[in-house]
Amino acid sequence: MNPKTILSFLIQLAILPACFAQHPNEAAVDYHLPDVLRTQSGKEINTVADWEKIRRPEITALFEKNVQGKTPVKNIPLRFVPLSVSHNALNGTATRKQVRVYFSRNEKYYMDILLYLPNKKNKPVPVFVGLNFGGNQVVNADTGILISKRWVKYATEPAYKNHLGTAASRGVQSNDWCVEKIIAAGYGVATVYYGDLQPDSVNSVNAGVAPLFYTKGQKEPAADEWGAIGVWAWGLSRVLDYMETDGDIDAKKVIVIGHSRLGKTALWAGAQDQRFAMVISNNSGEGGAAITRRKYGETIAVMNKAFPHWFCGNFKKYNDKEDELPVDFHELIALIAPRPVYIASASQDQWADPLGEYLSGWYATPVYALYGLKGLSTPVPPGISQPVGDGVIGYHLRKGEHAITPYDWDQYIRFANRFFNK
């Protein structure tokens, strides 16, 4: 047995009784990860300088070419138009701003930022930013929020009618956002409906903002160019561009967060854009924090079949060929170093491979160590409701299903407080 197989075996012995015993395929899991600190040509990386000059750009380029696709650096001029401001939102505790960001003179290309900032503050505040699934109005029942006019994938009445949000959709995902809790903790929160950037449906590539990325005559992204996740992540960086212009926000303390497919997106945004000060992956699973070579739960082939629009054309080459992918997803976490990162799983979300999500933090730890920072201390994940991470990588396994809940937010706020608010 090679050392990784032995390690995998020991981990199984240690944790199976706790939470994974009901999943017989765990015993079959065996894999060999690419070494995060060795270049493709075999050079060992021992210093921060070599990591930042050689290996980090190499890994970023490998993800761009093979996984999410490259998003253009082409300078798209942004125009920020305030839509509304109220200093008396959420019972007077918060200021609500809504800002439209135009990406072109053609006014169909825009995204709407919804932003809440605590009124109790004496300096610019740190802010959580993430995309939402249902239109900005779903994040809180606040009737001042403009109802999105974009297509949504939901069609269940009365909240949605013909795939458009109605007044009944106000606040339907407020438990996912916990705006009041975030404000009370002294943070701002910003969100954009991901469908403002690209609809989450197959063949949607020309229905969002991506046509602005094309070179002359181009009709679709090349095999190594962006999928929807690349476009969504690009949008998160544009929210940060706005934040750098808003004096109420400390743009050096912006925490990018996402759940599930939007967790995959938050990781990619944080990996590419070093301005994000902290990154949170909530149940991001395959194509996010989970180690793909474990082939546990969802696999590349299954995901590419159900959601062919998420990743780039080249990613399809790795359907059922995880071991040939020149990267694995611990390296996506490593790209975030030295910034704090938090990975969260849920006990019943085996589809997202909780152990694989934890292990990506563990296998990214040597890169944090290069900076003299503490990552995770053991390959053995904690039990349910036992958050770990007194260094710069945090992790918890929440009891329950695939979701983002107030419990998750409590952990994120506690972790963020160590860096930004206390």
| Active site members | 260, 402
| 112 in contact with ligand GCU (CB under 6 A) | no
CB 342 within 8 A of CB 389: yes
- Report how far residue 409's alpha carbon sits from residue 358's, in angstroms, rounded to the nearest whole number: 18
DSSP 329-398: THHHHHTTTTS-EEEEEETT-GGG-HHHHHHHHHHHHHHHHHTT----S-SSPP-BT--B-SSSEEEEEE
Which helix (DSSP H) or strand (DSSP E) does residue 76 occupy?
A: none
Under rule CB under 6 A, which residues in 126-145 are in contact with ligand GCU? Answer: none
Nearest-approach distance from CB 261 to ligand GCU, in angstroms: 3
* Cβ–Cβ under 8 Å, residues 375 and 341: no
* Nearer to ligand GCU among residue 285 and residue 389 (C-beta): 285
> What binding mask, one character per residue, do residues 349-368 give for ligand GCU by CB under 6 A, x or -?
--x-----------------
Instruction: Tell me: does residue 286 bind ligand GCU (CB under 6 A).
Output: yes
CB of residue 31 vs ligand GCU: minimum separation in angstroms? 19
Give yes or no for residue 261 binding ligand GCU (CB under 6 A): yes
Q: Closest by alpha carbon to 364, among 391, 332, 394, 405?
A: 332
Nearer to ligand GCU, 272 or 304 (CB): 304
What are the b/e assignments for 341-358, b being 16+ CB within 10 Å? bbbbbbbebbbbbbbbbb
CB of 307 vs ligand GCU, minimal distance in Å: 7
Neighbour tally for 260: CB within 10 Å: 20
> Is residue 298 close enough to count as binding ligand GCU by CB under 6 A?
yes
| Near ligand GCU by CB under 6 A: residue from 285, 356, 381, 387 | 285
Q: CB of 195: closest distance to ligand GCU in angstroms?
A: 14
200 near ligand GCU (CB under 6 A) = no
Residue 59: enclosing H or E segment and its boundaries? helix 56-66
Q: Provide, rounded to whole angstroms, the least separation between the CB of residue 249 and ligand GCU.
A: 28
Task: For residue 227, state whether it binds ligand GCU (rule: CB under 6 A).
Answer: no
Cβ at position 291, least distance to ligand GCU in Å: 14
For ligand GCU, give the closer residue by CB, 115 or 152.
152
CB 343 within 8 A of CB 330: no
Which residue's CB is nearer to ligand GCU, number 11 or number 152?
152
303 part of the interface to ligand GCU, by CB under 6 A = yes
Quote the CA–CA distance of 228 and 268 in Å, as a whole number. 12
d(CA 123, CA 247): 9
Q: How far, rounded to the nearest angstrom, does the alpha carbon of residue 3 sit from its chain's CA centroid?
A: 31
Q: H or E segment at 269?
A: helix 261-272
State the nearest-atom distance from the C-beta of 368 to ligand GCU, in Å.
25
Nearer to ligand GCU, 374 or 402 (CB): 402
195 binds ligand GCU (CB under 6 A): no
User: Which residue number, 246 or 298, has a Cβ lying nearer to ligand GCU?
Assistant: 298
Cβ within 8 Å of residue 356, ≥6 positions away: 289, 290, 291, 292, 294, 296, 297, 329
292 binds ligand GCU (CB under 6 A): no
Residue placing its CB nearer to ligand GCU in the complex, 94 or 352: 352
Candidate list 148, 260, 282, 350; residue touching ligand GCU; CB under 6 A: 260
Q: Does 199 bind ligand GCU (CB under 6 A)?
A: no
Q: Which two tokens stand for residue 75?
A: 């300078």
Closest CA to 87 of 119, 62, 43, 133: 119
Per CB under 6 A, residues contacting ligand GCU are 260-261, 285-286, 298, 303, 351
